[in-house]
Structure 1
């Protein structure tokens, strides 16, 4: 037994210490000295999202194969200069994400967009003890469970499911004048360019919708105009069931925007999901399996043919917004998703991937989505039943700590009307 433990510890340390880097940007293929390249001569580049997660046989066993090949496989990506963006664009500020480096942009017409780095920087999340022991790779390598191009497919599926999305596109942004002081950190990198979940909403093309707000702003609207502000419950239920379908387990309140639809003197808020980093999350290997068990991290679940532990996917966001929605609505929206997301629609949604990425992961993910879709009514009923078992909230949602609410108002969205 002692020998087994020592072997396990030895393999663990070997796997975790295979690299001492915590962050790396993309790698351009065929162009050696990036700093000397005149990117204006090109309309695209062949680039790998990151080679930081390349593994070996021991790492693949101990930490899982994950999406390592997708991260290191070169894909052809269009080059974007901010001054060439439709409607022009200027940098407003850096975003505040912990792992994702982002720049908030504003177009000439006031529309807000963002550049979200495809490569992640989890170094702020690495505990000191891991750094001391030289095993920070246990946190860093977790990014390999995220698919670098998942958001592109999710957007296509969202369109067919009639769910709002931020319309992400993958782009390469060279160093150039419009980046100004942000060049060193953000120049020559791979990004997802997408719309912001607040500000001007004209890009959505929805009748009577002209603005977007964050969840905390919606809460304040509700508190100040309780009888006149409501949410589109069918759209919200459909969006959350869609999350189950694509395995996106990380859906806290800051990952939602709301399109404000004006109906007379009333407001109907339509949910706008964002941040699809954890869609198709693929957690494998000995160590991740141990760490992500249902007792320790019930919400961290790998994307499989079936949902392993649905109670772990119920979030405070769900309890706050959805606890009083009847089961009939959940069943109705599950049936509608089944009708909208046919086999042909699911398969066609992956056409946004390059052939190389599709060959790596496309067929397996398509099969899993279809299996989950077929069982979606059962998941919807179980989801609603678990919501009913949940206790009312006693704390503010993530990102809403500064909203002035009574204890009663913290419990649920409609509690502001009580």
Structure 2
């Protein structure tokens, strides 16, 4: 027994110490000195999203194969100069969460866009003790469970099921004058260029919709105009069931925007999901399996043909907005998703991937989506039952901490009069 424990510890340390890097950017193929290249002479480059996650056989066993090959496989990507975008784009500020580097852009007409880094930087999440013990790679390597190009497919699938999306495009951003002081951090990197979930809504092309707002602003609007403001519950339920289909387990309140539709004296908010980093999340290996379990991290689930633990996927966002939605809506939207997501619709959504990336992961992901689609009615009814059994919220949603709310206003969207 002692021998087995020692052997496990040795393999673990060997796996975790394979690299001391905590962050790396994309690798450009075929160009020797990137800083000497005039990218204006090219319309595209061949890049690998990151080679940081390459692994030997021990690491593959201990920390999983994940999407390592997708990260290190070169793909052809168009080059973007900000001055070439329509609408006179200006950089507003840096943004992003704890892992993503991002730049918020604004056009003259008020349209907001974001450049979100494909490569992630989890170093802020690495505890000091991990650095001391030399095992920070256990956090850093977790990014390999995310598919670098998942968002592109999710966007296509979203269109098929009539759910709004931020229309991400994969681009390579060379160093350029427009970046100014941001060149060091953002120049010569791979990004997803997409629309923001706030600002001008013209790009959506929706009748009677003139603006986009974040969840906290929707709450403020509801408190101010109690009886006038509602949400499109059918599309919200459809969007959350769609999340189950693609295995996107990270859907907190800050990952939603709302298209504000004015119909007479009423205001109807249509959900706009964003940030698809964790769609198709693939968690493998001895260590990740031990760390992520239903007791400690019930929401962190690998994308398999079946949902392992649906209660872990119920978020405070769901309880706040969806707890009182009738069962019939869940049944109706599950059926609608099954009708819209035909085999052909699913398969064609992967056409946005290069052949090299599709050969790695496409067929397996398609099979899993189809399987989840076929079981969606069962998942929808279970989702509704879990919400019905849930308790009302006693804390604010993520991102709404600064809003002054009564106990009722805090508990659910339609509880503002309590």
Whether these two folds match at TM > 0.5 is yes
TM-score (norm 1): 0.99
Paired with 2:27 and 2:90, the residues of 1 have a C-alpha distance of 26
1:75-117 residue CA offsets vs partner (Å, 9 max, x unmatched): 0000000000122311110004110000000112210000000
Alpha-carbon distance, 1:408 to partner: 1.6
Q: Could you tell me which residue of structure 2 aligns to residue 121 of structure 1?
A: 121
Alpha-carbon distance, 1:32 to partner: 1.1
Q: Could you tell me which residue of structure 2 aligns to residue 279 of structure 1?
A: 279
1:125-174 residue CA offsets vs partner (Å, 9 max, x unmatched): 00111011010000000000000000000000000000000000000000
- Number of residue equivalences: 418
Q: Could you tell me which residue of structure 2 aligns to residue 298 of structure 1?
A: 298
Residue aligned with 1:203, SS: helix
Matches within 5 A, 1:82-121: 82-121=82-121
Given that 1:151 and 1:276 are in contact with CA atoms closer than 8 Å, whether structure 2 keeps it comes out as yes
Q: Could you tell me which residue of structure 1 aligns to residue 148 of structure 2?
A: 148
CA, structure 1 residues 350+96, in 2 after alignment: closer, same or farther (shift >3 Å)?
Answer: closer
Q: Could you tell me which residue of structure 1 aligns to residue 243 of structure 2?
A: 243
1:317-341 residue CA offsets vs partner (Å, 9 max, x unmatched): 0000000001100000000000000
Paired with 1:114 and 1:408, the residues of 2 have a C-alpha distance of 34
Alpha-carbon distance, 1:251 to partner: 0.1
Q: Could you tell me which residue of structure 1 aligns to residue 329 of structure 2?
A: 329
Paired with 2:52 and 2:65, the residues of 1 have a C-alpha distance of 13
Residue aligned with 1:257, SS: strand
Given that 1:104 and 1:114 are in contact with CA atoms closer than 8 Å, whether structure 2 keeps it comes out as yes
Q: Could you tell me which residue of structure 2 aligns to residue 41 of structure 1?
A: 41
Paired with 1:90 and 1:173, the residues of 2 have a C-alpha distance of 15
Q: Could you tell me which residue of structure 1 aligns to residue 55 of structure 2?
A: 55
Paired with 1:3 and 1:139, the residues of 2 have a C-alpha distance of 27
Q: Does 1:205 align with 2:240?
A: no
Q: CA RMSD in A?
A: 0.6
TM-score (norm 2): 0.99
Alpha-carbon distance, 1:16 to partner: 0.6
Given that 1:227 and 1:417 are in contact with CA atoms closer than 8 Å, whether structure 2 keeps it comes out as no
Paired with 2:101 and 2:138, the residues of 1 have a C-alpha distance of 20
Q: Could you tell me which residue of structure 1 aligns to residue 350 of structure 2?
A: 350
Matches within 5 A, 1:19-418: 19-418=19-418
Paired with 1:16 and 1:148, the residues of 2 have a C-alpha distance of 22
Paired with 1:81 and 1:96, the residues of 2 have a C-alpha distance of 21
Residue aligned with 1:306, SS: coil
Paired with 2:108 and 2:358, the residues of 1 have a C-alpha distance of 36
Point out where structure 1 has 5 or more consecutive residues left out of the alignment.
Answer: none
Given that 2:63 and 2:286 are in contact with CA atoms closer than 8 Å, whether structure 1 keeps it comes out as yes
Residue aligned with 2:257, SS: strand
Point out where structure 2 has 5 or more consecutive residues left out of the alignment.
Answer: none
Given that 2:96 and 2:116 are in contact with CA atoms closer than 8 Å, whether structure 1 keeps it comes out as no
